[in-house]
Chains A and B, each alone.
Chain A
Amino acid sequence: MNPILTASKVEKAFGSLRAVADVSFDVADGEFLTFLGPSGCGKTTMLRMIAGFEEVTSGRLLLDGKDMSSVPAYRRPVGMVFQNLALFPHMSVAENVAFGLAVKRTPREESRKRVEATLELVDLAGYGGRMVHQLSGGQRQRVALARSLVTAPRILLLDEPLGALDLKLRRQLQLELRALQQRTGTTFIFVTHDQEEAMSMSDRIAVFNAGRIEQIAPPNEVYTRPASIFVADFVGESNLLRGRVRGGQIELEDIGAAVPDTGGRPDGQEAWVSVRSENISLARSGDATDPAGARVQMLEYGGLHSKAHLTTTRTGKRLTAIVKPSSGGGFAVGETVRIGLDEFVVLDH
């Protein structure tokens, strides 16, 4: 199947600042794709280029195979939900939602029906007469969604739309958004800096760093097989151990152990081993001279699980390990424990 959107070597420069550098990717029709990254990584700029609010400095954007460079934003079959929603304050909910249809001079009866249907879709049936200022945050969110969906765009872009909501509401809307996307079959491109949000909603995640995409893959792949140190560090909690290759093994000084090198790296080369906090196992040691030992500096209590903050006895490297109440409950601050690696990933950069 042909991709609905293709970005080919897209670049965006503001003067000498390259906000987006050499980005290429495809988006499948009906996919939920998330642009994930820290502030200033270029994800919003990339989104705005797809929308048509920023000009592409070089490279091409193809929508359904058609080059978008000469098409202004208002002629693209692309909708956008803005970070601050940008609902029209001088219009009622129904008028807001009907805007995209009114602009195309849709007949009144058809417009009314579609508006009603879309309001029902977002669970706001009957709210048509209200003014925007009479709505709560979550309700406004849904109006913004309905407004963009009523015109049945090919792609819906969402620029961190859930940022201003409290945690519980945010989680609820995440689920609703995902369900909505599946029900309508619209392609969604979602921008966020919250990696948990990205993982729970997306078909694929594109991790942005300093204007480039470091990895674009389904959530579980990004999580278990990060392509770079940045991705390993940004998504989920991970510990980074520096190692040196010697005789087919990667020697890790921090924990006085070595792991096999399956990548055929030359001797003397530097490599990094990334271990998720939940993949570090702790065992009773009590031996302060244990080369694979670490001292428990602090125990951080959490609802589901607790975190142990450790420093290795050999190098003083700081590690974080998830401790399940059932098994690890017995560790105390100041105790020395033995570090084991259950699962890890080897990275070169």
Chain B
Amino acid sequence: MRRLTDPRLLAIPQLIFLGMFLYGFVAITWSSLHPEGTFTFEIYASFMMQRTYQAILWRTIEVSVWTTAICLLLGYPLAYFLARARNTELLLLLLISPWLVSIVVRTFGWMLLLGNAGVINRGLLELGIISLPVRMMFNTTGVIIGLVHVLLPLMVVCILSVLVKSDRALEEAAGSLGASPVQTFTRVIWPISLPGVYNGMLLVFLVAMGAIVTPILLGGFRQTMVGSQIFQEVFMLFNFPRAAAYAVVLLVVSFVLVIPILLHDRHLRRKRNI
């Protein structure tokens, strides 16, 4: 007789969600392989043949890689500074506060800033620094800027969570053994924070790969990413099977690309008994 307080019962909601996700995944895979009722690899074949489809995928990967790299470059120093600040919690709150505003509203804000007649361009034109407006919207640059803005706090939080737990005495120990500040960073601080860095990279990369709102608003529909393309296929072209195929490709490619990080992260955790 199973008691109502059996902890294994807590797994049931998780299993339901997992089941729904798997059902959804199976359903869209089915749809992508049966565009008109009969089984065919047509859609996937056309992906591999035609340049436009490949371009969409490459663009998505390119944007995601750039976004992840910039988030890491900006986010690490930020996390390092926050970890050592006296009012870490307050600064963390400030960092997260943009998330309180809807992503659509924020991205519209970027449109105001980045457009050809936007604040940045008008300022630069009036100062005479440029003679023609710099194209920062409806191209990958604008999308990267928007995504970095949204995902930077995520990277910072991931790295911060590891830096905050690490022992300050480790840096002094390294110093007592003759390591300069640079050596202390490369040999002690950076390797120890690596699991946090991997976490951040994984999250930022995967969210960027599947992003929809920012690519639509800042990238437009002429040069789409997979996310905005799926939106277009579903709501404007009503081609559900092709949208489904894009989704499957996105899932598989994203997973394959992050395998190296997953493997090394698992290796590190095993070795360090984390």
B174:A99 contact, CB within 8 angstroms: yes
Contact segment of B67-75, B117-125, B177-185: B177-185
A103 vs B178: C-alpha distance when bound (angstroms): 7
The answer to whether the Cβ of A1 comes within 8 Å of any Cβ in the partner chain is no
B272:A89 contact, CB within 8 angstroms: yes
Interface pairs A-B: 10 shortest CB-CB: A100-B177, A86-B169, A86-B173, A80-B176, A74-B175, A133-B273, A73-B175, A103-B179, A103-B178, A90-B191
When C-beta atoms are compared, the residue in chain A nearest to B177 turns out to be A100
- Please give, as numbers and ranges, the residues of chain B lying within 8 Å of A79 by CB-CB distance: 176-177
Residue from the list B167, B175, B177 in contact with A147, Cβ < 8 A: B177
The answer to whether the Cβ of B213 comes within 8 Å of any Cβ in the partner chain is no
Residue from the list A84, A90, A134, A148 in contact with B177, Cβ < 8 A: A148
The answer to whether the Cβ of A131 comes within 8 Å of any Cβ in the partner chain is yes
A78 vs B191: C-alpha distance when bound (angstroms): 25
The answer to whether the Cβ of A313 comes within 8 Å of any Cβ in the partner chain is no
- Please give, as numbers and ranges, the residues of chain B lying within 8 Å of A86 by CB-CB distance: 167, 169-170, 172-173
B176:A148 contact, CB within 8 angstroms: yes
12 A-B contacts (beta carbon < 8 Å): A53-B175, A73-B172, A73-B176, A74-B178, A82-B169, A84-B167, A88-B192, A99-B177, A100-B177, A103-B187, A133-B273, A151-B177
When C-beta atoms are compared, the residue in chain B nearest to A75 turns out to be B178
- Most B CB contacts (10 A, CB to CB) among A51, A82, A147 go to A82
Q: Annotate A65-108 by CB proximity to B: 1 below 8 A, 0 otherwise.
A: 00000001111001110101011111000000001101110000
A131:B176 contact, CB within 8 angstroms: no
A74 vs B181: C-alpha distance when bound (angstroms): 8
- Please give, as numbers and ranges, the residues of chain B lying within 8 Å of A148 by CB-CB distance: 176-177
- Please give, as numbers and ranges, the residues of chain A lying within 8 Å of B179 by CB-CB distance: 74, 99, 103
Size category, A interface: 20 to 34
The answer to whether the Cβ of B271 comes within 8 Å of any Cβ in the partner chain is yes
When C-beta atoms are compared, the residue in chain A nearest to B194 turns out to be A90
Nearest-neighbour CB distance to chain B for A287, whole angstroms, equals 61
B173:A80 contact, CB within 8 angstroms: yes
B192:A90 contact, CB within 8 angstroms: yes
A53:B172 contact, CB within 8 angstroms: yes
A75 vs B183: C-alpha distance when bound (angstroms): 13
Q: Annotate B179-210 by CB proximity to A: 1 below 8 A, 0 otherwise.
A: 11101100110011000000000000000000
On B, residues with C-beta under 8 Å from A are 167, 169-170, 172-181, 183-184, 187-188, 191-192, 268, 271-273
- Please give, as numbers and ranges, the residues of chain A lying within 8 Å of B192 by CB-CB distance: 88-90
When C-beta atoms are compared, the residue in chain A nearest to B184 turns out to be A74
- Please give, as numbers and ranges, the residues of chain B lying within 8 Å of A74 by CB-CB distance: 174-181, 184
A88-B170, A89-B272 known; A103 vs B176 contact (CB < 8 Å) = no
A82 vs B170: C-alpha distance when bound (angstroms): 9
Nearest-neighbour CB distance to chain A for B50, whole angstroms, equals 47
A100:B178 contact, CB within 8 angstroms: yes
- Please give, as numbers and ranges, the residues of chain B lying within 8 Å of A72 by CB-CB distance: 175
A115 vs B178: C-alpha distance when bound (angstroms): 16
A103:B169 contact, CB within 8 angstroms: no
- Please give, as numbers and ranges, the residues of chain B lying within 8 Å of A102 by CB-CB distance: 187
When C-beta atoms are compared, the residue in chain B nearest to A74 turns out to be B175
A86 vs B175: C-alpha distance when bound (angstroms): 12
A74 vs B172: C-alpha distance when bound (angstroms): 9
A36 vs B176: C-alpha distance when bound (angstroms): 22
A51 vs B177: C-alpha distance when bound (angstroms): 11
A131 vs B174: C-alpha distance when bound (angstroms): 18
- Most B CB contacts (10 A, CB to CB) among A74, A104, A133 go to A74
B176:A78 contact, CB within 8 angstroms: yes
B169:A151 contact, CB within 8 angstroms: no
- Most A CB contacts (10 A, CB to CB) among B169, B173, B180 go to B173
- Please give, as numbers and ranges, the residues of chain A lying within 8 Å of B187 by CB-CB distance: 99, 102-103
A131 vs B169: C-alpha distance when bound (angstroms): 19
A134 vs B272: C-alpha distance when bound (angstroms): 10
B170:A103 contact, CB within 8 angstroms: no
Q: Annotate A54-74 by CB proximity to B: 1 below 8 A, 0 otherwise.
A: 000000000000000000111
A87 vs B177: C-alpha distance when bound (angstroms): 12
- Please give, as numbers and ranges, the residues of chain B lying within 8 Å of A147 by CB-CB distance: 177
A73 vs B176: C-alpha distance when bound (angstroms): 6
When C-beta atoms are compared, the residue in chain A nearest to B171 turns out to be A86
When C-beta atoms are compared, the residue in chain B nearest to A134 turns out to be B273
A90:B176 contact, CB within 8 angstroms: no
